[in-house]
Amino acid sequence: MWTLIVCSIVKLVVQVKLLPTPQQAAALEATLDAVNRAANLVAALAFQRRCFRNFDLRRHAYDQVKAEFGLAAQAAQHVIKKVCDAYRTLHANLAGGNLGRPGSPRRVKAEAKPVSFRPLAAQPYDDRCLSWQHEARTVSIWTTGGRLKGVAFTGSEEHLALLAAHRRGESDLVCRDGMWFLHATIEVPDVPAAAPEGFLGVDLGIADIATTSDGVRRSGKGLNAVRHRHRALRRRLQAKATKSAKRLLKRRRRKEARFAADTNHVIAKQIVTEAERTGRGIALEDLQGIRERVRLRKPQRVTLHGWSFHQLGGFIDYKAARAGVAVIYVDPSYTSQQCSQCGHVDRRNRPDQATFSCTSCGFAEHADVNAARNIASRGETGWAVSHAA
């Protein structure tokens, strides 16, 4: 068994919505257009010269993009860095085999041309080209047409408070569906976790998204129904393939992702609140293990991959860190086949998806609850082992 304890700084991204006047919006749009044309030029240069390192690329491209596109020094540097990052991602994907084997059509296509950026692709801003006036709820932001002052922004009270207290580093300027946003990074120091009195085990699944060792099950029924509805609509729209259908499709996809994120937030919050209230830590299965462990028929697999376990785990992780609740990750093997009473492991302990019934001691329980109890006790053992010294 192995364990991993959470780190001590929590990084989050907070989104605020900008409320630019029509003139301000036009200046922002012209700016994104310019930086992305510049990025495409740098990407082509990098591709031509097979030069993908920030430092080298700056030598080749910096003066040209500054002069040709009217960019400020920082903006030019961000453009070059953005291109390097895009190539690094591409190369990692190629190395990881995510675009197929060498020689496969998809891979050949990806390797044959420079990376490219949409006219309104997001652009990073640092503190020299973007400043925040939290009291007035405005930002001052560099554009190709000069510095825009007093651009209003809005967001949830919780986010605005976090932003004012903990914002650090870069923010991305993002345009989506004709709306403008800033994605700002914040760093929240976590409360040192108190020594937990026992662990709340959490089993992540499909029929039930999250089941705790206390026996609380969060059903995925409503969610899965929404997903199926969306998928049916998606298929109809895809068949149409018109421009407006494509646009609608894109909007639906975002709506679905937002819905999933909202649900994950709610579930994560309930779990963390319960652990905090009872002085326990939280034990989760190793997230990497989940996809490997679950082998399913195809229709279900779509749901699983669409559903973001990773996101739910991440939400639990940072909410727990902020509340000073310890989180421990445990080895996920056989949590569903092991008896949480006597420890007996047998595939036949699971006569069907929902039932656990021990062939050795006769203990019976809902299968997910039994698994969550195993996760909880592995968390306890793991904590004891890692804190023995």
**Which of the stretches 87-95, 305-313, 358-366, 378-386 binds Zn ion when contact is defined by CB under 5 A?**
358-366
Q: Applying CB under 5 A, does 339 fall inside the site for Zn ion?
A: yes
CB neighbour class for 356 (10 Å; exposed up to 12, middle 13-18, buried from 19): buried
Helices in 294-345 by DSSP H: which ranges?
A: 298-306, 309-323
- Report the nearest approach of Zn ion to the CB of residue 163 (Å): 51
**Which of the stretches 81-89, 212-220, 284-292, 344-352 binds Zn ion when contact is defined by CB under 5 A?**
344-352
Interface with Zn ion: number of residues (CB under 5 A): 8
Neighbours of 266 (CB within 10 A): 12
| 203 in active site | yes
- Report the nearest approach of Zn ion to the CB of residue 364 (Å): 9
Own/partner pairs, 212-221, CB within 8 angstroms, 24+ separation: 212/271, 212/274, 212/369, 212/372, 213/369, 213/372, 213/373, 213/375, 213/376, 214/274, 215/366, 215/369, 216/270, 216/274, 217/366, 217/368, 217/369, 218/267, 218/270, 220/307
Q: Applying CB under 5 A, does 350 fall inside the site for Zn ion?
A: no
- Report the nearest approach of Zn ion to the CB of residue 373 (Å): 12
| 285 in active site | yes
Residue 291: enclosing H or E segment and its boundaries? helix 287-293
Residue 294 φ/ψ, nearest 5 degrees: -80, 110
All residues at 6 or more sequence positions from 119 whose CB lies less than 8 Å from its CB, including other chains: 32, 33, 36, 37
- Report the nearest approach of Zn ion to the CB of residue 371 (Å): 14
Q: Closer to Zn ion at the Cβ: 161 or 361?
A: 361
Identify residue 385 by its one-letter amino acid code.
V
**Which of the stretches 144-152, 194-202, 361-369, 373-381 binds Zn ion when contact is defined by CB under 5 A?**
361-369
User: Out of 47, 259, 334, 363, which residue is the one contacting Zn ion (CB under 5 A)?
Assistant: 363
Residue 33: enclosing H or E segment and its boundaries? helix 22-49
Q: Closer to Zn ion at the Cβ: 127 or 346?
A: 346
Catalytic residue among 203, 208, 317, 365: 203
Catalytic residue among 190, 208, 214, 368: 368
Tell me how far apart the alpha carbons of residues 12 and 5 are, in angstroms, rounded to a whole number. 18
User: Out of 1, 4, 164, 342, which residue is the one contacting Zn ion (CB under 5 A)?
Assistant: 342
Q: Applying CB under 5 A, does 62 fall inside the site for Zn ion?
A: no
Catalytic residue among 190, 208, 276, 285: 285
Identify residue 189 by its one-letter amino acid code.
P
CB 379, CB 328: distance < 8 Å: yes
User: Out of 232, 361, 384, 385, which residue is the one contacting Zn ion (CB under 5 A)?
Assistant: 361
Give Dmax over CA atoms of the chain in angstroms: 78
CB 290, CB 204: distance < 8 Å: yes
Q: Closer to Zn ion at the Cβ: 297 or 348?
A: 348
**Which of the stretches 6-14, 36-44, 341-349, 367-375 binds Zn ion when contact is defined by CB under 5 A?**
341-349
- Report the nearest approach of Zn ion to the CB of residue 338 (Å): 9
User: Out of 37, 81, 310, 344, which residue is the one contacting Zn ion (CB under 5 A)?
Assistant: 344
User: Out of 122, 163, 358, 367, which residue is the one contacting Zn ion (CB under 5 A)?
Assistant: 358
**Which of the stretches 7-15, 101-109, 331-339, 375-383 binds Zn ion when contact is defined by CB under 5 A?**
331-339
| 214 in active site | no
CA 364 to chain centroid: 37
Residue 343 backbone zone (phi > 0: left; psi -120 to 50: alpha; other: beta): left
* Binding interface with Zn ion (CB under 5 A): 339, 341-342, 344, 358, 360-361, 363
Looking at the annotation, which residues are catalytic?
203, 285, 368
